[in-house]
Chain A
Amino acid sequence: MSSERVEVKEKVLSANDQVAAENRALLAAHGIYSVNMISSPGSGKTTLLERTVDLLKPSLRLGVVAGDVQTRNDAERLERHGIPVEAIETGGGCHLDARQVARTLALLDLPSTDLLFIENVGNLVCPSSFDLGESEKIVLMSVTEGEDKPLKYPAAFRRARICVITKVDLVPHLDFSTERAVDNARSVNPDLRFFFTSSYSGEGLEEWGGWLGERVEEYRRGR
């Protein structure tokens, strides 16, 4: 019997993408601007969120979805800042997927939310493949990780539009060239916009928080 070739041309993650599109529509219906924060373990996602939440809480209604492999630690840290937080424990899974986020959105008070942060599992590879339905993908890298992170993990830097370089208070102690890091990131994605923050000294937080506030406004107007 002869074989026949059947063209399929289907994206492997199309099932995830479909749920992500539903999440996006649901968030849009409530006018919620959402960001998906992606980085290696320990780059400072939760600490930056704690500082950002304190900064924006007086003017915006915030919510957080905190993904973690095994614990609820990050969710508990953020809850102490007096905002609604839902944890997703992936139980070993190396990334969040759109279905997990869909289930979690059902637990949040969406009509009372302006800005939703999604802290992805600490991992610079896998989360970048899974669209969650967010408005913006944000990749973080800390100055302790070395300037070549964007070259080693190009997928994450290509899919994000925003790159936050964190822990800049440590630069004086390190042989880290911010310029080289930015050049490397731009070589994989020329359109990236950068923020430079320290959750310890507070450097860059006003600019970062201000930008988020503007995006929320812009998102509402564009709807």
Chain B
Amino acid sequence: MHEMSVALEIGSIVARELAKRPGCRLTGLGVVVGAFSGVQIDTLEFCLEVVMAERYDGVVCEVKPEPGTAQCLQCGRRFQVSRAPFECPTCGMPALGVDGGDSLQVSYLEVE
């Protein structure tokens, strides 16, 4: 629901970065979205397309999901999770707690 405000914030960060590089044209943009960041990836992709198309031509947006990691209580295996329930792929036991997957970050710009 707040993906549009997130896309607009990304737009401001991009504009700020470009202002530091006069004469550069934006060609690409990379964003990292954690599985537990509260942001819906496909909705954000759509909103970003809208925001970018309004301002620039032909920018390729890469929205990269970031999973979290959990550890099995039974066998100790560490595994990646991006949605609940957090069950060990080996023994099916629930994991207690998840690390990471909380990012919401502009990782890079591509300019020429």
Contact = CB atoms under 8 A, between A and B. Distances in A.
B96 A187 contact: yes
A11 B104 contact: yes
A151 B94 CA distance: 12
Given A3-B28, A156-B38, A9 B106 contact: yes
B108 interface: yes
Interface string A140-171: 00000000001111111010000000000000
B2 A12 contact: no
Given A2-B112, A129-B39, A10 B96 contact: no
B96 A8 contact: no
Given A15-B12, A187-B85, A187-B95, A158 B109 contact: no
A129 B5 CA distance: 11
Interface size class of A (residues with CB under 8 A): 35 or more
A188 interface: yes
Contact of A12 (B10, B85, B96): B10
Given A3-B110, A4-B110, A151 B84 contact: yes
A150 B36 CA distance: 11
Nearest to B1: A94
B80 to A, nearest CB: 15
B112 A4 contact: yes
Given A11-B105, A156-B38, A6 B2 contact: no
Contacts of B13: 8, 10, 12, 14
A156 to B, nearest CB: 7
A119 to B, nearest CB: 18
Q: In the complex, which range does the number of interface residues on chain B fall in?
A: 20 to 34
The main secondary structure of chain A at its interface with chain B is mixed
B72 to A, nearest CB: 12
Interface in B83-112: 84-86, 94-98, 102, 104-112
Contacts of B98: 154, 158, 187-188
Contacts of A10: 13, 105-106
B27 interface: yes
Contact of B107 (A7, A16, A123, A152): A7
B108 A187 contact: no
A126 B36 contact: no
Given A95-B2, A155-B37, A3 B107 contact: no
Nearest to A183: B94
Contacts of B1: 94, 123, 125-126
Given A15-B9, A123-B1, 18 more contacts: A1-B112, A3-B27, A4-B111, A5-B108, A6-B110, A8-B17, A8-B106, A12-B106, A125-B1, A126-B1, A129-B37, A151-B85, A184-B84, A184-B85, A186-B96, A187-B85, A188-B36, A188-B98
Interface of A: 1-16, 94-95, 123, 125-126, 128-130, 150-156, 158, 183-184, 186-191
Q: Please name the 6 residue pairs, one residue from A and one from B, whose CB atoms are nearest each other, closest first.
A: A155-B38, A151-B84, A126-B2, A190-B97, A94-B1, A1-B112
